Amino acid sequence: MTADWPHARRPGLHERITGELARRVIRAQRERLPVAFPNETQLCRQLGVSRTILRESMKVLVDKGMVEMRPRAGTRARPRCQWRLLDPDILSWQAELEPDSLFLRDLCEVRLAIEPTASGFAAVRATAAEIDEIAIQLERRRTLTPGGQLDLIIDGDLAFHAAVVAASHNPLLEYLSSAIRRPFRTALLYIARRPANLALGLEAHIRLLDALRARDPVAARKAAEEAVGLAMVAVEEGARTPTAAAARPNRKGNHSDE
């Protein structure tokens, strides 16, 4: 199983304009700047779209809590705390921009709430076939070296995580895990800037599989916590490194300083 988002269909005009407006809001929020959009006529001219398309796009952002529209006051961005933060579109729009430390930190904390819990449940609920599937995904991942194609390594990690969460037999955990899949992939690309992180993460996954086979929920939770902990350390280190953006991977999974 591989992530399908790199091969997603080309967005239509309405979808593209909605994403452009959303990213404006997200960039401003990250830079702690207020966003007051120009009037409708000016914004249509800027974007090269009709009023109908613009209004449809703005309505989407209103429904997601990102903007508010008031008569005579215009359209303004709402604080991040009022957004529907687990909305898949909002998560994807944030992931499409250069990851910032706050977003990555939040994502790691969500993972910490999902993965150890799912791993503990999987240790006692997984069928033999599901553990075999987890082992297959891990073996596929182990055959990929850090010098290989980074996209395939990240897809392998995602497939392993998805198989573990599925084995928890908790549909809510599966839903949450699926909701963060796209930004999770972006975070893994960011974290994978250092080959040591990939190696340590793989070791944690091996320990997790061993715990699942032993039907040991405590050990399974611990191994999952270690894997997420490695990501959290990488995020904190990146936040303290002024040149982190220069070393981040590009869309092809290569490093921009290579």
Give the DSSP letter string of 83-120: S-TT-HHHHHHHHHSPP-HHHHHHHHHHHHHHHHHHHH
CB atoms within 10 A of CB 170: 18
Is the predicted pLDDT of residue 6 greater than 80, yes or no? no
pTM over 0.85: no
Domains of the chain: 7-82 (1.10.10.10), 95-242 (1.20.120.530)
Is the predicted pLDDT of residue 255 greater than 60, yes or no? no
Helices H / strands E in the chain, number of each: 11, 2
- Give the pLDDT mean for 39-48: 92
Per-residue pLDDT tens over the stretch 104-152: 888 888 999 999 999 999 999 999 999 999 999 999 998 886 666 788 8
Q: What percent of the chain has pLDDT over 70?
A: 86
Are 223 and 202 a contacting pair, CB within 8 Å?
no
Per-residue pLDDT tens over the stretch 72-115: 778 889 998 899 988 888 888 887 887 677 788 888 889 999 99
Whole-number pLDDT of residue 240: 61
Are 93 and 19 a contacting pair, CB within 8 Å?
yes
| Residue 89: partners with Cβ closer than 8 Å, 6 or more residues away | 18, 22, 60, 64
Per-residue pLDDT tens over the stretch 167-206: 999 999 999 999 888 888 877 877 777 778 888 889 999 9
- Give the pLDDT mean for 208-218: 98
Cα–Cα nearest to 76, from 96, 91, 63, 62: 62
- Give the pLDDT mean for 32-37: 81
Whole-number pLDDT of residue 10: 53
| Residue 224: partners with Cβ closer than 8 Å, 6 or more residues away | 115, 116, 118, 119, 120, 164, 204, 208
